[in-house]
Amino acid sequence: MITFIALICAAAVTAFLTFSRFARTDSWRATVTPLASIIGSGFLICGPILAREFGRAAIIAEAILLLIAYAAGAVIRFNIVHVENYLASARVNDPLAWLARATQGVLAIAYAISVAYYLKLLAEFLLKPFDTDPAWHMLASNAIVTTFIVAIVALALGNGLRRVEHLAHGTVALKIGIIAGLLAALACWWLTNAAADPLPPARVNWSSISLLLGLVITVQGFETSRYLGHAYDQALRIRTMRHAQWIASAIYLAFLALLTPFLARAAQAEGVAGILDIMTIVGPALGLFVLVGAVSSQLSAAVADSIGSGGLMSEVTQRRVSVQVAFALAGSLAVAVVWLTDPFEVVAISSRAFALFYALQCSLAFIVARRTATAGGARQMGFLLVGMVCIVATLVGAPAEG
């Protein structure tokens, strides 16, 4: 029954977001881009990791992580108006213009690393059903990811990436539908089961805080609104980025709250794909449900970030490096990250890269606010505070233990 309800909810939400008039509005289209990036499979891996590190305080830890992301989003929303307008009339040799280019370069690298993160998770979910030797598992995982990266680069060189991009964007409605189905399944379990595991004790220490900062990648993605100026005006991008963060935050917190009866088992789940074990308890067929959602979301996110990384690299070099060569460079970096890290390490490395990008965005906001007097002293101090948090995350964000 629970699986049936999950399927009905997933089908209904997917159909609405695919065929309704609302799904074709500019407001939803501008919301979907950052929303799809934020809710990759991050919400699937956060539950077991936070349960293991924070115990019953896992949902509080998740709320803090989302607040940090929302604060960084507020900085970028300021930059959408004030930094964009300032740079539009700035001199070519203005130091701020150079800082903006450096920021784009950092984002290009962060996107390339995140491709490794997304595909590494995809491989872990694909291999989760198989009980294999750890050494063989790692080799198979890296081989799968490398194959995907080589395929993406080959498509880019052969001008076939746009067709894959359209297909990837088409999975967004499916991904959100599957999330709705999972939430419905967990809610039904709450209503039909009185018993629950005893909650693990709350734990907070320096290592758990550094791990939390190493999960920035799981709530990242809202910054894509900053680079949609070719399609949408500033007011729409600001409003829809805010909406995307609200929706994503509600999904993350609802999922972790509904996961509460399973926190003890979640804390014992092995690997980044441990959520498959939990959802199989809720409904035997829900493991496959999670698998389809995870694979589709990770593949679409990897394609999107490959496009972003290659495009930004070419733009930062003022087209001296062609988009095709930039794709090859980004793919090479992603492959190197894949073979030099494990799944938990790549989460932390990706998080550090994006935290550095957000810190640079805070620097841009602070400098422009000082030069143009477009923000008061309290807001400028807020930019500095968020920037400091992001710098700390860049320096100390740590991987979870496997």
Tens digit of pLDDT at every position of the chain (402 positions):
788 888 899 899 989 988 888 888 889 888 887 887 788 767 778 888 888 888 888 899 999 999 999 999 999 999 999 988 888 887 777 888 889 889 989 988 998 898 888 888 888 888 877 777 777 888 998 999 999 888 888 877 776 656 666 656 667 788 888 888 888 888 888 887 766 667 677 778 888 888 888 888 888 888 888 877 777 888 999 999 999 999 999 999 998 888 887 777 776 766 666 777 777 777 777 877 778 877 877 877 787 778 778 878 887 887 788 877 888 888 899 999 999 888 888 888 988 999 999 999 999 999 999 888 788 888 999 999 999 999 999 998 877 665
pLDDT of residue 68: 94
Number of domains the chain is built from: 1
**What domain range is 28 assigned to?**
1-396
Q: State the burial class of residue 183 (Cβ atoms within 10 Å of its Cβ: 0-12, 13-18, 19+).
A: buried
Q: Return the half-sphere exposure (C-beta side, CA atoms, 13 A cut-off) of residue 106.
A: 20
Q: Which CATH number is 362's domain given?
A: 1.20.1740.10
pLDDT of residue 394: 93
Dihedral over alpha carbons 158, 161, 162, 166 (to 10 degrees) = 150
Distance in angstroms (rounded) separating the CA atoms of residues 375 and 311 = 32
State the amino acid at position 400 in one-letter form.
A
CB atoms within 10 A of CB 160: 12
Query: Per the domain annotation, does 402 fall within a domain?
Result: no
Distance in angstroms (rounded) separating the CA atoms of residues 135 and 137 = 5
Query: Per the domain annotation, does 90 fall within a domain?
Result: yes
Contacts of residue 304, Cβ cutoff 8 Å, sequence gap at least 6: 36, 37, 165, 168, 169
Query: Per the domain annotation, does 115 fall within a domain?
Result: yes
Query: Per the domain annotation, does 401 fall within a domain?
Result: no
Query: Per the domain annotation, does 286 fall within a domain?
Result: yes
pLDDT of residue 382: 93
